[in-house]
Amino acid sequence: MTVLYHGLMAEQFSLVVLIVALATGLVTSIVAITYMQTRQPQFFRYFLTNILLFNLLILSGLVFRYLQIQIQATGLKPYLFVLPGLLVVMAVLKLGWLYAFILMNKSLPVDLVPKGTAKMMAIAAVVIFLGYLGVGAIALLMHYEVLEKFVFITLETLIIGGALFATLQLMLEAGKLPKNNRRQSIMVFGGYHLGLLGVILAVLVMGWMQPGPQKLSQILANGGFLVLFNVFPLVWIKWFQPQKPVSNLDRFESLGITRREREIIGLIQAGKTNQEIADKLFISVATVKDHNHNLFRKSGVRNRLELANLFR
């Protein structure tokens, strides 16, 4: 009786942890929606999508584990037809989360993500999903359990690895910014996710995320990860998020734009060509093009028109 009592208490505790995690996710989503109207709309749009997809992913994973346990305990075969569909849904959620996570990281240092980047990532996600679907279907139909595990772990590694790479790239970009509030906030944002994703990767290596019924400790770990994932954005928005630039001068400083580059922006806004800018500033056309390239990179724009509009 004592063992049963402690088992029930542990299950109830894991359920409470999950409910708290989902509640914090809801609060964080509401806060993100309010900030979306006033600060970096594109970043907070991806920020909100990232939170919602991650919470849906955890929920779908718990449903999947529950059905697995029910099948093993009761032999209810109808559930067998639901599991492959859930795996497909989870794969879509994972790729969608990675897509939102990468674009969120790319839009944090600047206010604009080039459309070409989003399109390229969407194509890559579709290719990975089709490959996962095709190989997974073969493994399922041929009853190759080793191949099933390989497909599952490969997708998980790609998702976590892609998120880690995006986080490292974000921190490298932040390192190029001047030492100000914006750089500090990005470093905090990236450092936290780097640590959390590193722990998740370690858990994956330990085998906790492989297919199969989960132990109570694994369910608690998932709930704990979800709490950390949902609570951090509230802390970051409250104390660490970048201050909104109130003028072009603030924006120039936050993006690390030099005095010479500001002159070039002004001349571009005046409608000057590269040759005219070179003549006026007594520099070569190649140097002007180098300045343009640096401005595009720092500002996250694709051409001179977007650059002029960004600082108008």
Say which residue, 248 or 287, is predicted with more confidence: 287
Q: For residue 96, what pLDDT is reported?
A: 93
Most confidently modeled range among 54-68, 86-100, 139-153? 86-100
Q: State the total domains in the chain.
A: 2
Considering the domain architecture, whether residues 68 and 111 belong to the same structural domain is answered as yes
Closest CA to 196 of 156, 218, 224, 174: 224
Confidence (pLDDT) at 4: 36
Burial of 107 (0-12, 13-18, 19+ CB in 10 A): buried
Looking up residue 281, the CATH number of its domain turns out to be: 1.10.10.10
Model confidence band, residue 102 (pLDDT cutoffs 50, 70, 90): very high
Mean pLDDT over 152-159 rounds to 85
33-61: pLDDT as tens digits = 776 655 666 778 888 888 889 888 888 87
Give me the pLDDT at residue 3, please: 36
Res. 148: pLDDT tops 70:
yes
Lowest-confidence region among 23-37, 48-62, 207-221, 263-277: 207-221
Averaged pLDDT for residues 198-204:
78
Task: Inform me whether the pLDDT recorded for 71 exceeds 90.
Answer: no
End residue of a domain, out of 239, 258, 282? 239
CB 171 within 8 A of CB 148: no
For residue 137, the enclosing domain spans 2-239
Percent of the chain clearing pLDDT 70 (strictly above): 76
pLDDT at 184 over 80: yes
Domain boundary (239, 269, 297) is at 239
User: What crossing angle do the helices spanning 115-141 and 145-175 adopt, rounded to 10°?
Assistant: 160
Residue with tokens 């849906």: 56
Q: Are 67 and 78 in contact (CB under 8 A)?
A: no
Compute the average pLDDT of residues 149-174. Answer: 87
What CATH number did the domain enclosing 152 receive? 1.20.1070
Q: Determine contact, residues 186/240, Cβ cutoff 8 Å.
A: no
Tokens of 33: 């929606």
Whether the Cβ atoms of residue 254 and residue 40 lie closer than 8 Å to each other: no
Question: What is the pTM (predicted TM-score) of this model?
Answer: 0.72
